[in-house]
Structure 1
Amino acid sequence: MAADRPKQYLPLGRQTIIEHSLDCFLGHPGLKGLVVSLAADDPFWPTLAIAHDPRVQRVAGGLQRADSVLNALLYLHGNGASDDDWVLVHDAARPNLARADLDKLLDELAADAVGGLLAVPSRDTLKRADASGRVLETVDRSAIWQAFTPQMFRLGPLHRALADSLVADVAITDEASAMEWAGYSPRLIEGRGDNIKITRPEDLEWLRSRWDMQG
């Protein structure tokens, strides 16, 4: 992002990206609290007002996403959470989660045996490329979904899936992929397409312009 700080601390309106990403959860009556995984030497987090909110607990992040999530799950285990409790994992750089999507995820997965994630069906034509960047084939997009967060699973099975996949040195890109590797079939809950993860400067500019238009 060519910035002097991690992208989650860049400004978006009157708050940082990470503050917006957490706000949707802090304002929800059905959720008990938040655990944020951050680098141990992160100098930016303590400067935010949200860092001093008693509902938000901080744990050390890890080398990989799976390590950071595991540390958060271990904290929950050590502070009274049970294996059957639902946990939601969300990207710090995904600040535009709609409350309606969060409610939909919680409602539709409440009685699910596995859990699942917010996602959107692919709207674009997809191409499979070779090593030289030339098209090998057009992929049938009717069964292709783009995975978003939050991703919602029970604490015990998610902890075991992440821990076992790390021991097996399996490439895990999100919590759902760990659950898939462990033999589960997560459910896809269709959400809004504007629940984007900020990865490039144009993503942030798009959100800023959209929020400016809304007032």
Structure 2
Amino acid sequence: MQLNQYIDHTLLKADATVENIKNLCTEAKKYDFFSVCVSSYFVALADSELMHTNVKVACVVGFPLGSMTTRVKVFEAKQCIDQGANEIDMVINIGLLKSGYHSIVEDEIRSIKKVIGDHTLKVIFENCYLTNEEKKIACKLSLNAGADFIKTSTGFGTGGATIEDVQLMKNEVGDYLKIKASGGIRDLDTAKKYIELGVSRIGTSSGVAIVTSNQ
């Protein structure tokens, strides 16, 4: 297991500075993480810092609430790709999902996937706000809309990834979609548990601590 290649090295705090982002990229290069995950403003900076490396740039869209209009999310996603992002982590419109407006949620995911083309789209559910039935519906909508990944959490809600949620998501999508576990994953044992469940990516701000404890 190449643990480092499961990790999206993440910094999404409101007070993240330019130097913080540069340091994030330096760590990602040192430990050969799969990607860094940053807010849209910092995509161009991260792309510049990671030029001529294998580390990808992932960017969040509609973060962290998901309640922006579809047009705004599509614009943000396209701008991020144009500035060098390889992957987009979008937050669904949680309120619309819970209102039963499933076709709107699906169409939004599809619209973002369309504008980013072959680039990877991860759909963030924010499971802490959803019932199990709503999580299953979100899985179906993401699959129908052509997403590449489904993702447990933003890390900014009332809860993060759980074993139970990842098992539920895996049962719903099988091998048709990949799964990213994110939120509250801070140590090696926890990361390994999720990987053993079948997740393809771990979103964490504790990537360095996780991989160095494995040495």
TM range (shorter): under 0.3
Q: Which has the higher strand share?
A: 1
Q: Which has the higher contact order (CA 8 A, sep 6+)?
A: 1
